[in-house]
Structure 1
Amino acid sequence: MSEPANGYVRRLCLWDAALIVIGGMIGGGIFLNPYIAAQHTSSNAVLLAVWVGAGLLTLVGALCYAELGARRPHAGGSYVYLREAFGPLAGFLFGWTMLLVIYSGSSAAVATIFASYTATVFGLPAAAMQPLTVGALVFVAGINLFGLRLGVQVQNLFTVLKLLAVAVLVVCGLYLAGVGGGYLLQPDPARAHAGFMGAALPVLFAYSGFTYLNNLAGEVRDPQRNLPRALFLGMLGVIVAYALVNVAYLAVLGHAGLAASTAPAADVMQRVAGPYGAKLIALGIAISTLGFCNITLVAGARVLQVMGEDGLFFRSVARLHPRHRTPNVALLLLSGWAIVLAVSGSFGELLDYATFGDWLACAVGVSTLFWYRRRDRGPALFRVPAYPWLPLLFIATVAWVVLKSLHDHPRNTGIGLLIMAAGAPVYLAWNRLFSRREH
């Protein structure tokens, strides 16, 4: 395939792309908050069913994005799909929300988790938290200023190390805990009447991030083949990893113990290997979160670059480095804003806005598939199976999650919607100013 018009170079092989999918999804969620899902389920079997079911639902979304990426194998991902299907305003609103809260807020919050666990490992004082947070964001931005190849090599290392941390956790939980397999069917009497609806929200949060690869589609080799394969293989790897980690938690802590643990990974390793085990998994979590921040910033920078190229953002942001072919101005802008959010201390609420906005954007992105199917009637190298039922299932389920979020957390989700809506007058003002300059 010829190089895309915006000058990106296709350097990512299938292996690189699959690790990006895995690295963009496995952050801190699976190590930190499974206790919330346990609190809303009545037994081990139901809990595992929620994790696997949410993974299969996310796989449906990934398959939809695989077809979208194969149809439009260029940088920009959801922004490009929304702009083409629903017009420039829809694309601008995605980019606006992505810059202000979705990618920047996620990076700021997860960088803070990195700082917390790094301080734990090395026994650093609380005063070191903020410098570590800022340093993490500066580091991941810096390594990507000198070409995608270096950034991907570092990212691959992060992902392999986080998978190693998952493997250590699973082995310790399953083989060193000395618990038989019958525990999987045991109910939790304290939660005999618990529903499982509340468990879906934290579980889906842990599965978010599968769309990041599409933002980098302009740099994937043979994208019409490799992008669908990478999304499928990456998603399967994450589903298996999440299921095994939860089995390990339950083997050591039991359902009631998991529901009471706000740091289940550390508790498992503490029981199995003492303080050294807890420090080892803390180091693994720190590496995992650093890799997530790396992918988030790199993927978001591509969206801003394409927006600048389209005239929907500053033209300077559209520039690529003449040698490295990287959107350095866009990367510095997104990273700088993430640092501002981290320093402001508002990252906790911003993570709520980011999760809500991310899944809403995923559902709207999948809906563009219907437009592409009507418009592009020719053969495609990859098509979502069971169309239109699987895309409709994904959209309907995410719509339920959005409505449930509005009901359970009206303040944070309401603010998230206001941030999105505020992009409309900004778009109109930008268009008016841009038109005057053109004339």
Structure 2
Amino acid sequence: MDEQHEAAPRIVVEDRAGYSRRVGLFSGVMLVIGGIIGSGIFLNPSIVAQRVHTPELTLGVWVLGGVVALIGAFVYGELGQRAPKAGGSYVYLRDAFGALPAFLNAWGLLLIIATGAIAAVAVAFASYTIALLGLPATARLPLAVGAIVLLSGINYIGVRLGTLTQNVFTLLKLVALAVLCGAGLLLAKVAPETAAGASTALPDSLGLAVGAALVPVLFSYGGWQQTNFVAEEMIDPERNLPRALLLGVIAVVTVYLLANLTYLRTLGAEGLAASSAPAADALGQLLGPGGRTFITAGIAVSTFGFLNLVILVSPRVYQAMAADGLFFPRLARLHPRYHTPTSAIVFQAAWAIVLTLSGTYGDLLDSVVFADWLVFGATAATLFVYRARERAGSVPRARYRVPGYPLTPLLFIAAAAYVVIGSIASNPANALKGALLLLAGVPVFFFWRHRTSGGKSAPRVRDGLHSAPP
């Protein structure tokens, strides 16, 4: 690491508690799929149809977004092989650009990006569940908090149980999507405007319309990067992490395209644009009220699985930050029996519950939606630093390499910049609030940096196995 980018001091301690390698290739693929597919594919395709109008452009934008996601998987695959450590983007940003950008990434996740997502998805899960079971609206918050506590407890006692839960709910959400797509492809009568030769009017400004439609598509494809957070717990991560990323993203792209084809065949582009719940409308049209009930259950299952994924992977980032001496030392500790960052999991759950009960998570999360793709672009840029160090001989040559380098990562960075700029331009006041929330981490960073360099209690590391002082 360059001297000007050196991270916070690390000290050796005798505690050897470390992460346990329990995540195989199949679980890795399920993490990728579960990290991308939430509720968006069941609800959001209508936004794309509203912006581009025609069936061909609607599918084309989803194809384009899939290409960007696939390039992202290639980039994160090489980065994961180069630094297969817990924390993912935090590690790459720290190694390439220094401790402050890495800390701000982790700070944003802890403050609102991950915890706000946990709150929002927990409430969404509760909303679908009470609708499905006919429970009173007053059950929403208790059910949301209960889901956070339950899944945090599951992930507290081991990554194996957490990934097993993820595998089950990812498979269930794939079953729901398979029923949706199968019914659409086998039972749907093709909507007139979707038939060969038929088309609705093109948007007035094709380029702007496609660009506007690409923003929600790229947000729907985001999430593959979270698997890199648990790289240190994967079996043979140098081999399995890139494979899991590629297989998972390819599976999601296939599912997304089939789902959109189902919507278009069933509802047509105009019907899709007018629908606020395209999955329910499509399956309800094909299978009647039972189809609507089934897809409501499918969305509840999908949100629950996504909630588990965020709760599982995000504490690894806080743990890595604390192990660098940049946060409460206790969060750096791994449980001697469970080999999980238990304090980080509890801390995350507590803050997510506060956000859930306060009801502020929605506005806060909206204000930092650009931050995910800001981190994606910055993380992809670290690949150029690693490659430069490789050419200089300071790091070994990576076995797995991004195809089309340097063009493909540059295209990915451009796509990320487009999403960030688009998000800021659409609501500059909200973006300013989000930027201020993230920049509030700067004094926090210098506080912890000073505390560590001043000889106070700091996390300690030996042979890459993170722990905290007893």
* Cα separation, 1, equivalents of 2:80 and 2:304: 26
Match for residue 283 of structure 2? 269
Contact map agreement 2:87 2:228 (CA 8 A) in 1 = yes
Describe how 1:102-121 pairs up with structure 2 within 5 A. 102-121=113-132
292, 303, 316: which one aligns with 2:317: 303
Shift of 1:271: 1.2
* Cα separation, 2, equivalents of 1:167 and 1:354: 33
CA, structure 1 residues 429+108, in 2 after alignment: closer, same or farther (shift >3 Å)?
A: same
Query: Percent same amino acid among aligned pairs?
Result: 49
Match for residue 81 of structure 2? 70
Shift of 1:417: 1.3
* Cα separation, 2, equivalents of 1:101 and 1:259: 31
- Which SS does the other structure have where 2:300 is aligned? helix
Letter in 2 for 1:358: D
- After TM superposition, the structure 1 stretch with the greater mean CA deviation from structure 2, 193-202 or 292-301, is 193-202
Q: Tell me whether 1:325 sits opposite 2:339 in the alignment.
A: yes
Letter in 1 for 2:413: I
Letter in 2 for 1:432: H
Q: Tell me whether 1:183 sits opposite 2:201 in the alignment.
A: no
Contact map agreement 1:307 1:313 (CA 8 A) in 2 = yes
* Cα separation, 2, equivalents of 1:407 and 1:6: 47
Shift of 1:191: 5.0
* Cα separation, 2, equivalents of 1:184 and 1:254: 12
* Cα separation, 2, equivalents of 1:227 and 1:216: 10
Contact map agreement 2:370 2:424 (CA 8 A) in 1 = no
Structure 1 unaligned blocks of 5 or more: none
* Cα separation, 2, equivalents of 1:249 and 1:236: 20
Letter in 1 for 2:102: G
**Deviation per residue, 1:273-313 (Å, 9 max, x gap):** 22221111111111111111111121110011111111111
* Cα separation, 2, equivalents of 1:415 and 1:80: 26
Shift of 1:269: 1.6
Contact map agreement 1:43 1:185 (CA 8 A) in 2 = no
Letter in 1 for 2:415: T
- Total equivalences in the alignment: 435
- After TM superposition, the structure 1 stretch with the greater mean CA deviation from structure 2, 195-204 or 160-169, is 195-204
Match for residue 302 of structure 2? 288
Shift of 1:19: 0.7
* Cα separation, 2, equivalents of 1:79 and 1:244: 34
415, 418, 421: which one aligns with 2:439: 421
Q: Tell me whether 1:394 sits opposite 2:403 in the alignment.
A: no
Shift of 1:369: 0.6
Match for residue 407 of structure 1? 425
CA, structure 1 residues 264+180, in 2 after alignment: closer, same or farther (shift >3 Å)?
A: closer
**Deviation per residue, 1:20-50 (Å, 9 max, x gap):** 0000000011111111111100300101000
Q: TM-score, normalised by structure 2?
A: 0.89
Q: TM-score, normalised by structure 1?
A: 0.95
Structure 2 unaligned blocks of 5 or more: 1-15, 458-470
Contact map agreement 1:44 1:185 (CA 8 A) in 2 = no
* Cα separation, 2, equivalents of 1:374 and 1:343: 47
Describe how 1:119-134 pairs up with structure 2 within 5 A. 119-134=130-145
CA, structure 1 residues 304+397, in 2 after alignment: closer, same or farther (shift >3 Å)?
A: same
Describe how 1:32-431 pairs up with structure 2 within 5 A. 32-179=43-190, 183=195, 186-189=198-201, 191=203, 195-377=209-391, 378-431=396-449
